[in-house]
Amino acid sequence: MRVGRIPYINCFPVYGAVDRGIVPMAATLVDGVPTALNRMMSNGALDVSVVSAVEYARDSERYLLLPDLAISSDGPVRSVMLFSHEPADSLTGKRVLVSRSSMTSVHLLELLFEHVWRARPVFVPGDAEADALSRDGQQEFGARLVIGDAALMLQSAEHPLARVHGAAYAHVYDLGAEWKTWTGLPFVFAVWVAQRTTPVTAALAVHASLIDSRNWGVTHLAELSAQASRATDVPIHECRHYFDGLDWRLGLKELEGLSEFFRRLELAGRVPQGKLAFLPAAGRRG
């Protein structure tokens, strides 16, 4: 079994116990940014993986959702951010650099520009994270979408890169908060899926391990915050604040938010009409 993992700190609470050997998992872990994992799942190179929510919607007939696993926020997410020199509603015709790392974040940004800010910028795909954190990456854009650990670094008052680059932007928009204001619902950024061709018993075993590891992770956020701080140089208290704003479950509220996002994408013609289909729930160990 090959299982995908995003290397950002937002996955630490799901994989932390597996990484520490506390929870066994009979699989090989493969790291990749969301779009890379999407591609590997689409090509059949992975059996189970966390993927962008949009990847599931794009090809729902290929995948089964793993129950009760997601990365979501019910308000600010703090790691999917639009950094802009001007108000978002003033960006018509301006170049906006969008991350190649996350399909979901880009689609959410497009919906917000169309329906909330009512502006029509020119989207330019690129390596927004590396460019945003590079002293040499100074090509000018009206705004840039930055995700993951890089977005946290640019917001941290104590991180040197925030003083160099983050302070250059007069307007900062948290896409999780913008979605919550627009719809009143949580936003699901990523889900875990299995190939429909993956043997059910093997997929259930991986799911059970991930659930056990997640359950350990949410009770050890202090330890994981220290690990996240070491990985990013973002202070521990800011990493803990970040974790406190995330949810790694997929409950009824999150499913409502996910379904509403998919509905809006379907209306916009960005994904085909589909439905949510789940792997049978993994039983509790004991």
Q: What are the tens digits of pLDDT across the range 171-224?
A: 999 999 999 999 999 999 999 999 999 999 999 999 999 999 999 999 999 999
SS3 65: strand
Q: What is the mean pLDDT of residues 44-53?
A: 97
> What distance in Å separates the CA atoms of residue 94 and residue 21, rounded to the nearest whole number?
49
Query: 256 pLDDT exceeds 70?
Result: yes
Helix axes 34-42, 103-112, angle to 10 degrees: 110
For position 190, what pLDDT does the model report?
96
- For residues 133 and 236, which has the higher predicted lDDT (pLDDT)? 236
pLDDT given for residue 156 in this prediction? 82
What is the architecture of the domain spanning 80-183? 3-Layer(aba) Sandwich (3.40)
- The confidence score (pLDDT) of residue 134 equals 52
Backbone angles phi, psi at 28, to 5 degrees: -100, 125
Average pLDDT rounded to a whole number, residues 112-132: 85
| Domain regions of the chain by residue span | 2-72+187-267, 80-183
Q: Is the pLDDT of residue 145 over 50?
A: yes
Residue 164, pLDDT above cutoff 80? no
Token readout for 25 is 């998992």
283 has pLDDT over 60:
no
Confidence class of residue 79 from pLDDT cuts 50, 70 and 90? very high
Q: What average pLDDT score do residues 17-37 get?
A: 95
Question: Could you tell me the pLDDT band of residue 4, with boundaries at 50, 70 and 90?
Answer: very high
Fold of 2-72+187-267: D-Maltodextrin-Binding Protein; domain 2 (3.40.190)
Is the pLDDT at 144 greater than 60, yes or no?
Answer: yes
- Whether 264 has a pLDDT exceeding 90, the answer reads yes
In this prediction, residue 161 has a pLDDT band, given cuts at 50, 70 and 90, of low
Whole-number Å distance between alpha carbons of 236 and 261: 32
Same CATH topology for 2-72+187-267 and 80-183?
yes
Rounded to an integer, the average pLDDT of 119-145 is: 73
Q: pLDDT band at 126, cuts 50/70/90?
A: confident
What distance in Å separates the CA atoms of residue 49 and residue 16, rounded to the nearest whole number? 16
For the chain, what percent of residues have pLDDT higher than 70?
Answer: 90
Dihedral sign from CA coordinates of 19, 20, 25, 26: positive
Closest to 79 measured CA to CA, from 143, 22, 156: 156
Residue 128 backbone dihedrals phi, psi, to 5 degrees:
-65, -35
Residue 93: count other Cβ atoms within 10 Å of its Cβ. Answer: 10
User: Quick check: 36 and 241 in contact, CB under 8 A?
Assistant: no
How high is the mean pLDDT of the chain? 91
Q: For residue 186, how far is the Cα from the chain centroid?
A: 13
Of these ranges, 140-154, 159-173, 200-214, the one predicted with the greatest mean pLDDT is 200-214
